[in-house]
Amino acid sequence: MIADNLAAVRLRMAAAASRAGRDPDEVRLVVVSKTQPVEQIALAKAAGVRLFGENRVQEALEKIDALAGQGLHWHFIGHLQKNKVKYIIGRFELIHSVDSVDLAERISALGLERREPTSILIQVNVSGEAAKSGVRPDDLEETLKAAAGLAGVRVEGLMTIPPYDPDPEASRPIFSRLRELAKEFDGVGGGSLKELSMGMSGDFEVAIEEGATLVRVGTAIFGERPGPG
Ligand SMILES: *Cc1c(COP(=O)(O)O)cnc(C)c1O
């Protein structure tokens, strides 16, 4: 089932890219394995997946350790507390969910200790929903300027999570706004904001049409999650 779902998602991704006149190779699929047991991740690996996204520190580290040495790549996509940074530094290729200067400073400090900068995305709360984490669009420039001064992080782009809506078209203005913000503030964070992490199972095609370079897809590949995600 995972292999079939994966093939279907990849086809839909490629179709969305071509509708937008984009090269499908510009869009990477992050398979969101949160709450999925190691056995499911191994099945996804057998189907060809190498890049996984996790949102809880403890759970992620257990899986990374259990699957070590298998050539898998891991991204952190969940809300991150400052006191947990020490556990995840060096374990993830990209942290999608940096939502404050404080957090970026902490990641930078630990990255400097290891003499290796950590790649991060700044999460933007485009919709302004009270319950969502993320930097407000009005604070993005300042956040990026602060991050540019941190030698232990490399800001590679922006991430957003739109408000839940069963209609994928509802996400379109949020995604296009994130793309505009990345264009407006390109270079302000010290480097190019080339990555746009946006789109989940319900709206990844719209996200790709609007410029996503990373889509984070769980349910459409594994089916409904076994636990709270
Ligand atoms: C759970 C989660 C996803 C994947 O959601 P699906 O709807 O299962 O595809 C993507 N991004 C983040 C940040 C998540 O927490």
Write the pLDDT tens digit of every residue in 24-55: 999 999 999 999 999 999 999 999 999 999 99
Testing ligand 1's pocket by substitution, the residue of 55, 171, 208, 221 carrying the most ligand atoms inside 8 A of its CB is: 55
Alpha-carbon span 17 to 164, nearest angstrom: 23
User: Do 76 and 94 contact (CB within 8 A), yes or no?
Assistant: yes
Note the pLDDT tens digit of each residue in 77-106: 999 999 999 999 999 999 999 999 999 999
Which of the listed residues 12, 32, 36, 74 should we mutate to test ligand 1's pocket, taking the one with most ligand atoms within 8 A of CB? 32
- Number of domains within the chain: 1
Cα(13) to ligand 1 centroid in Å equals 16
pLDDT at 225 over 90: no
Q: Is residue 78 part of a domain?
A: yes
* Average pLDDT estimate for 161-190: 96
Q: CATH number, domain at 46?
A: 3.20.20.10
Largest pairwise CA distance in the chain: 46
What gap in Å lies between CA 212 and CA 185, rounded to an integer? 17
pLDDT single digits (tens) 65-85: 999 999 999 999 999 999 999
User: Is residue 229 predicted with pLDDT exceeding 70?
Assistant: no
Nearest to 195 by CA among 225, 154, 163: 154
Predicted structure pTM score: 0.97
Residue 227 forms part of a structural domain = no
Q: Is residue 228 part of a domain?
A: no
Number of neighbouring beta carbons within 10 Å of residue 205: 20
20 located within any domain: yes
